[in-house]
């Protein structure tokens, strides 16, 4: 199978001005995408972005390329990634384009696409776009050029959708909530969603300036949220990332509830519903063993995929299952929406709290996170396959697995973005887990030096 030249597992991403994240390439990308998505006819494509400064640059470049290919544009402005997916579907667009580097710093940016159904583009379509990129850019006749129009009510539409994912009678008026918008795309979405459902809301990370997105704030830096929850004596804290597709929560004591804990709470809540939970919960190879054991107590199976929400979504759709996610906070409620959505996932947890009259801490206590140690080993110039297939490395892994027995897991995998081998060991005994992870890592280091 031919590999993709430009597209990674989540679109095209990198440092602004370097590699393919430059205006010349992005203009050509817009044109190539327009050629494929329009299939020779005019169509409608939505463009949304997060709050980083380079969004203006790449919005203009994409607009020019798409219009040159004869596509009409609907500009959404700053909008969470899952909001763009939703609007692509409900506005019957040919595709949606997101300008975002998610949880990365402001100096990175990226481009990712949604299909007309609000899901990620099929591999075949990405390959077709790459094929067009190899051709010279030819502008359609002036009579067939596309037009660009701004969607003025984009935020309002998405706010109403988010509220519709919980029971219409849900009342959050008894809850004090701190929400951290990471100075990103949810700054004008998440606060009104919660306020309109009745919550008393304190907002942090909602003053984007183009440069402060994800800077020491948001789901990758929950320390600011922990402090704000304690200072405000709040019931719960919600931390989103720059484009709104990740969620980390904080209980009233300041303790973090990560994606695994959130998955457990939503699964348990769904089990209490008359319709129950359809099928297993989908996690990844990095999902904590504690989640697997807690779900087993509920009579629910955990199915693991490779790391990446793309693979989780593929498993959900292939089997018509409804719930999956990652420890990082990518939570997909497929019975509510078409992609990972931090706001929607948070609302499911808040609904569970209200309907069970329980605190977030109480709900999360049903899952005990097992000690998990991750050690990254620099490969240098050694190929990952050489290490993965090495007899000494495999012997070290097997020895650790025998030591852990049924009370732990060992995972060895190459990084998809850096020259690293990631060694993960988890189990019930923290000192033993640390010892085994370091022993395997030392074996990998020796083999890279050999």
Look up residue 335 and give its two tokens: 């019975």
Residue 328 DSSP code:
T
Residue 111 DSSP code:
E
Could you give the CA distance from residue 92 to residue 163 in angstroms, rounded to a whole number?
21
Q: Residues 6 or more apart from 19 whose CB is under 8 A from it?
A: none
| 86 within 8 A of 244, measured Cβ to Cβ | no
Residue the block writes with tokens 């303790």: 255
Could you give the CA distance from residue 283 to residue 276 in angstroms, rounded to a whole number?
19
* Catalytic annotation, pick one of 94, 100, 102, 116: 102
Length of the chain measured in residues: 450
What does R_g of the chain's alpha carbons equal in angstroms? 23
Does the active-site annotation cover 356?
A: no
Residue the block writes with tokens 């205006």: 23
Q: Residues 6 or more apart from 450 whose CB is under 8 A from it?
A: none
Angle at 228 between CA 227 and CA 229, to 5 degrees: 95
| 58 within 8 A of 26, measured Cβ to Cβ | yes
Strand partners, 108: 15
Residue the block writes with tokens 């995408």: 33
**Residue (of 208, 218, 207) closest to 182 by Cα position:** 218
Look up residue 41 and give its two tokens: 């006819």
Residue 357 DSSP code:
T
Could you give the CA distance from residue 379 to residue 393 in angstroms, rounded to a whole number?
13
Could you give the CA distance from residue 239 to residue 206 in angstroms, rounded to a whole number?
11
| 53 within 8 A of 208, measured Cβ to Cβ | no
Could you give the CA distance from residue 235 to residue 178 in angstroms, rounded to a whole number?
8
| 423 within 8 A of 374, measured Cβ to Cβ | yes
11: left (phi over 0), alpha (psi -120 to 50) or beta: left
Q: Report the Cα 246 to chain-centroid distance in Å.
A: 5
Active site residues: 102
């Amino acid at each position: 199978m031919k590999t993709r030249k430009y597209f990674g597992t989540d679109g095209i991403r990198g440092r602004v001005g370097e590699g393919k994240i430059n205006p010349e390439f992005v203009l050509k990308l817009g044109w190539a995408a327009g050629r494929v998505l329009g299939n020779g006819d005019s169509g409608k494509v939505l463009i949304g972005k997060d709050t980083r400064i380079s969004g203006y640059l790449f919005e203009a470049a994409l607009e020019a390329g798409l219009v040159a290919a004869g596509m009409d544009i609907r500009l959404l402005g700053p909008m969470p990634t899952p909001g763009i997916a939703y609007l692509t579907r409900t506005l019957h667009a040919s595709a949606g384009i997101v300008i975002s580097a998610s949880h990365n710093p402001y100096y990175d940016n990226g481009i990712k696409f949604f299909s007309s159904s609000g899901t990620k583009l099929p591999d075949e379509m990405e390959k077709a776009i790459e094929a067009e990129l190899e051709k010279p850019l030819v502008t359609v006749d002036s009579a067939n050029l596309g037009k660009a129009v701004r969607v003025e009510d984009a935020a309002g539409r998405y706010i109403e959708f988010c509220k519709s994912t919980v029971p219409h009678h849900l009342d959050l008026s008894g809850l004090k909530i701190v929400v951290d918008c990471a100075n990103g795309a949810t700054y004008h979405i998440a606060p009104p969603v919660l306020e309109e459902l009745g919550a008393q809301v304190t907002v942090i990370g909602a003053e984007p300036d183009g440069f402060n997105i994800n800077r020491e704030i948001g789901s990758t830096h929950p320390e600011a949220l922990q402090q704000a929850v304690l200072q405000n004596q709040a019931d719960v804290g919600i931390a989103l990332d720059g484009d709104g597709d990740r969620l980390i929560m904080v209980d009233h004591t300041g303790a973090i509830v990560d994606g695994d804990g959130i998955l457990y709470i939503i699964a348990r809540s769904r089990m209490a519903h008359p319709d129950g939970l359809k099928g297993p919960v989908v996690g990844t190879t990095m999902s904590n063993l504690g989640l697997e054991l807690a779900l087993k107590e509920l009579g629910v199976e955990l199915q693991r995929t490779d790391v990446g929400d793309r693979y989780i979504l593929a498993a959900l759709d292939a089997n018509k299952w409804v719930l999956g996610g990652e420890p990082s906070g990518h939570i997909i409620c497929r019975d509510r929406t078409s992609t990972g959505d931090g706001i929607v996932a948070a609302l499911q947890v808040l609904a569970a709290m209200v309907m069970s009259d329980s605190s977030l801490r109480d709900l999360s206590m049903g899952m005990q996170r097992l000690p998990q140690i991750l050690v990254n080993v620099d490969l240098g110039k050694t190929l990952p396959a050489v290490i993965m297939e090495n007899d000494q490395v495999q012997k070290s892994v097997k020895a650790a697995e025998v030591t852990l027995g049924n009370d732990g897991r060992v995972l060895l995998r190459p990084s998809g973005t850096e020259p690293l081998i990631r060694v993960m060991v988890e189990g019930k005994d923290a000192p033993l887990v640390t010892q085994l992870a370091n022993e395997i890592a030392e074996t990998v280091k020796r083999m890279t030096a050999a």
